[in-house]
Amino acid sequence: MISLILKSFRHRWVTSMVCLLSIALSTGLFLGIQQIRNSARESFTDAVSKADLLVGARGGSLPLLLYSIFHLGQPINNISYSTFEDIEKHPAISWAIPYSLGDSYHGHRVVGTSNALFEHYHFRGDNKISLKAGNYFSRPDEVVIGSVVAKKQKLKVGDPIILTHGVSSEGIFQHDQTPFKISGILNSTATPLDKALFITLQGMELLHEGWESGVPPEEQTQLSEEEMNRLRPNQITSFLIGLKSRMMVLRFKGMIDQYKNEPLTATIPALGLQELWNTVGYVESALSLISLCVLAVGLMGIFIALYSSLQERRREMALFRAVGAGTFHIFLMLIGEAFFLVFMGLIFGLALNYLALYLINTWFIDEFSLFLSLKAPGTSEFIFIGSTLISGVLAGTIPAIKAYRQSLQDGLTVQL
Amino acid sequence: MGDDWRKRKRSKMSAIQLNHLKFHYTQGPLVLDIPELKIEQSEKVFIHGPSGTGKSTFLNLVSGILSPSQGDLLVLNQNLANLSAGARDQFRGKNIGYIFQSFNLIPYLTIKDNILLGQHFRKSDFNIEHRADQLAKDLNISAHYNKKATQLSLGQQQRVACARALIQKPQLVIADEPTSSLDDKNTIEFMNLLIKEWEELKFTLVFVSHDLTLARYFDRTIALEEINKVVSI
Ligand SMILES: Nc1ncnc2c1ncn2[C@@H]1O[C@H](COP(=O)(O)OP(=O)(O)O)[C@@H](O)[C@H]1O
Ligand SMILES: [Mg+2]
């Protein structure tokens, strides 16, 4: 009987395909949104862990988080280095990682920081930054690069590179004057770190030495190592801190928010991300709603397709009955067809979902250096699949009941 | 299987036997009121009558699709009223071959699949494909075996219908005006092939038509309006 349903399906393939595709589309869309949301959240959340507070100039905590950790967007205001030094000294602080942003190398962010980054930055739980080759920087004119940068720009330890002022990929001014040397290449972390270059805060100053007027200095500035070490950073963009005790977080945050010398903002990274999810949540809900509408169209399509085929099927049903089919068989055949349509729709939808995720993933890695993990369908997916199947069978029930009644009435003689 | 019919003959059971059968559709007028009718095993019976007199209704009763409103109906010695609806369906699938006037075939199935249509609802029989081949040869349709039903002429389609009705070697074959839509040449070919199959299988044949010239192929001719006491207009 299943082969009979398949052949009947082939016969009515145009309408069947429309139903099938709309179910596939909605399944793909719905599951895709869920999966992208979950794994995007996961990978965003995984990008930084074990950090208690992120501190920057007074402003929104989400932008602060986005440009400091995810290298998205531009910092607007800096904070003075002395503020950093002052807070860093506080006895409650276990570690602090400064960030000085604003430069780029072929579109990759250049991050001015300190060795604290390599020592204390955690991601995906317990993971720490590690070297694939070379050493961490020990001089202001040394640079450590992320794995993606190394791969894309075909760089290796010892190569000299020229860093650019500004963050566009074609820097307006090239810092031709100060070539940096690659001291180390990091292992891949699957976080935005992979796409960044790291120099010391002094290195950052070195980069801008003589730029006080806003344009490149006219004469070549060649500093001796001694002169370099004497450079003192003026400003940084933000800093990440880990406290000795988690219990201190809120009190410390309050303290920083009321810091006297300079207006500051402190944010708990996880809470900052929550703000992001709230913003993105509207889009997600809208897309989910759209996909549910597409699903409803598909289910209604099945209902209409089956219902409107009943008249033309009356002779078929009489034939089935003549060769021994009962009215219950007729009922089952229609239910079976609805089930088959939904089932195939779901299979195609799942395939579509994973294909789309695969494609989006490549783009996502490129754009954010975040990986979406392709997961097997989980509970919420199975709930969706299950309820879609049930709805499909329900959509087939009314036509099936009608067919049952019809074949009971027609028997073997169809009067048209 | 070959000497089945002889056994049947010996047992002297009748193929169809009815006593004071009355039938009306739900909330309809009485359509059939037949005091007595007996059709023997392997008999070829021709039933005729004006349209609307209840010929098809009678055939639906015999095949267990409809149940008598009153009276007894025995088919192959089985009182259909004693069977559940599902058992009647199975009984029909196993024992009765049915040929319609037209639209005998599922358009999107091949000839082969049409002949084997009943297999979807019957117990499977591993010899059945071989038998389908054989029947297609006997009925001059094997050249079209894997074509779609819609590609065949009406005459060919009716022969496929015949093959489908005979595939499970039924004891009873019912034909409801199977030649009404055929021209003379095709009608004669159809009748000859049907009778040739009868010679071999000796099934009971109940054949309805209003074309009285076909009566010569049969052992007995019954005018429905003569045995049916319901007077129709
Ligand atoms: N499914 C049905 N429901 C109600 N009345 C029917 C049905 N089928 C046939 N009839 C009525 O029963 C009578 C006999 O019809 P039918 O058996 O088809 O006659 P015939 O086959 O001799 O032309 C007709 O009056 C017809 O209108
Ligand atoms: Mg009729």
A233, A81 in Cβ contact below 8 A? yes
What is the pLDDT averaged over residues A368-388?
A: 79
Which ipTM value was assigned to this complex? 0.89
Residue B9 lies in a domain: no
- The Cβ-side half-sphere exposure at A37, using a 13 Å CA radius, reads 21
> How many distinct structural domains can be found in chain B?
1
The residue type of B8 is: R
Residue B62 lies in a domain: yes
Residue among B57, B60, B225 to mutate when testing ligand 1 (max atoms within 8 A of CB): B57
Alpha-carbon gap, residue A1 to B118, rounded angstroms:
10
Cβ pair A324:B109 closer than 8 A? no
| Radius of gyration from C-alpha coordinates of chain A | 31
Say what the pLDDT of residue A221 is: 54
- For the segment B50-77, what is each residue's pLDDT rounded down to a tens digit? 888 899 999 999 999 999 999 999 999 9
CATH of the domain at B211: 3.40.50.300
pLDDT for residue A279 is more than 60: yes
Residue B4 lies in a domain: no
Residues of chain B falling short of pLDDT 70:
1-12, 232-233
Ligand 1 atom nearest B50 alpha carbon:
22
Residue B2 lies in a domain: no
Alpha-carbon gap, residue A336 to A324, rounded angstroms:
18
Say what the pLDDT of residue A171 is: 46
- For the segment A230-241, what is each residue's pLDDT rounded down to a tens digit? 778 889 999 999
What is the bridge-based pairing of β-strands A131-134 and A173-186? antiparallel
Q: Helix (H, G, I), strand (E, B), or coil: what is residue A166? A: strand
Residue B171 lies in a domain: yes
Among residues B222, B213, B166, the alpha carbon closest in space to that of B44 is found at B222
Among residues B172, B162, B202, B170, the alpha carbon closest in space to that of B61 is found at B172
pLDDT for residue A216 is more than 70: no
- Please indicate whether residue B31, judged by its CB atom, sits closer than 6 Å to ligand 1: yes
Q: Which of residues 305-344 of A touch B (CB under 8 A)?
A: 315-316, 318-329
Cβ pair A324:B65 closer than 8 A? no
Say what the pLDDT of residue A387 is: 92
Cβ pair B60:A411 closer than 8 A? yes
- The Cβ-side half-sphere exposure at A320, using a 13 Å CA radius, reads 28
Distance from A312 to chain B by nearest Cα, in Å? 11
- A16, A161, A411, B118 from A319: Cα distances, Å: 22, 81, 9, 9
Q: Which helix (H) or strand (E) holds A322?
A: helix A269-322
Residue B127 lies in a domain: yes
- A88, A94, A136, A229, A272 from A119: Cα distances, Å: 15, 12, 10, 21, 24
Q: Measured between CB atoms, which of A8, A315, A323 is closest to B121?
A: A323
Residue among B23, B25, B102 to mutate when testing ligand 1 (max atoms within 8 A of CB): B25
Q: How far is CA A381 from the centre of its chain?
A: 19
What is the pLDDT averaged over residues A15-22?
A: 85
B85, A327 in Cβ contact below 8 A? yes
Q: How far is CA B4 from the centre of its chain?
A: 19
Residue B130 lies in a domain: yes
- For the segment B182-216, what is each residue's pLDDT rounded down to a tens digit? 999 999 999 999 999 999 999 999 999 988 999 99
What are A23's strand-pairing partners?
Answer: none
Contacting residues for B212 by C-beta, under 8 A, at least 6 apart? B48
Please report which ligand is nearest the Cα atom of B31.
Answer: 1
Say what the pLDDT of residue B79 is: 92
Q: How many distinct helices (H) and strands (E) make up chain B?
A: 8, 9
Say what the pLDDT of residue A215 is: 53
Ligand 1 atom nearest B55 alpha carbon:
22
A112, A200 in Cβ contact below 8 A? yes
- Please indicate whether residue B50, judged by its CB atom, sits closer than 6 Å to ligand 1: no
Ligand 1 atom nearest A410 alpha carbon:
1
Q: Which helix (H) or strand (E) holds B221?
A: strand B220-223
Please, which pLDDT band fits residue A173 given cuts at 50, 70 and 90?
A: low
- For the segment A148-161, what is each residue's pLDDT rounded down to a tens digit? 899 989 999 999 98
Q: Which of residues 355-414 of A touch B (CB under 8 A)?
A: 411-414
Cβ pair B106:A3 closer than 8 A? no
- For the segment A69-107, what is each residue's pLDDT rounded down to a tens digit? 888 888 878 999 999 999 999 999 999 999 999 888 888
Say what the pLDDT of residue B206 is: 97
Say what the pLDDT of residue A228 is: 64
Among residues A111, A138, A106, the alpha carbon closest in space to that of A192 is found at A111
Which letter does DSSP use for residue B148 in this model? B
Please, which pLDDT band fits residue A270 given cuts at 50, 70 and 90?
A: confident
User: Which residue's structure tokens are 């070549």?
Assistant: A220
- For the segment A177-200, what is each residue's pLDDT rounded down to a tens digit? 568 899 999 999 888 899 899 999
- For the segment A20-57, what is each residue's pLDDT rounded down to a tens digit? 888 898 888 888 888 877 877 888 888 888 899 999 99
Residue B33 lies in a domain: yes
What is the bridge-based pairing of β-strands A79-80 and A235-236? antiparallel
Structure tokens at B45: 């019976």
Count of residues for chain A? Answer: 416
Say what the pLDDT of residue A401 is: 92
- The boundaries of the domain holding residue B162 are 14-227
Count of residues for chain B? Answer: 233
- For the segment A317-333, what is each residue's pLDDT rounded down to a tens digit? 899 999 988 888 999 98
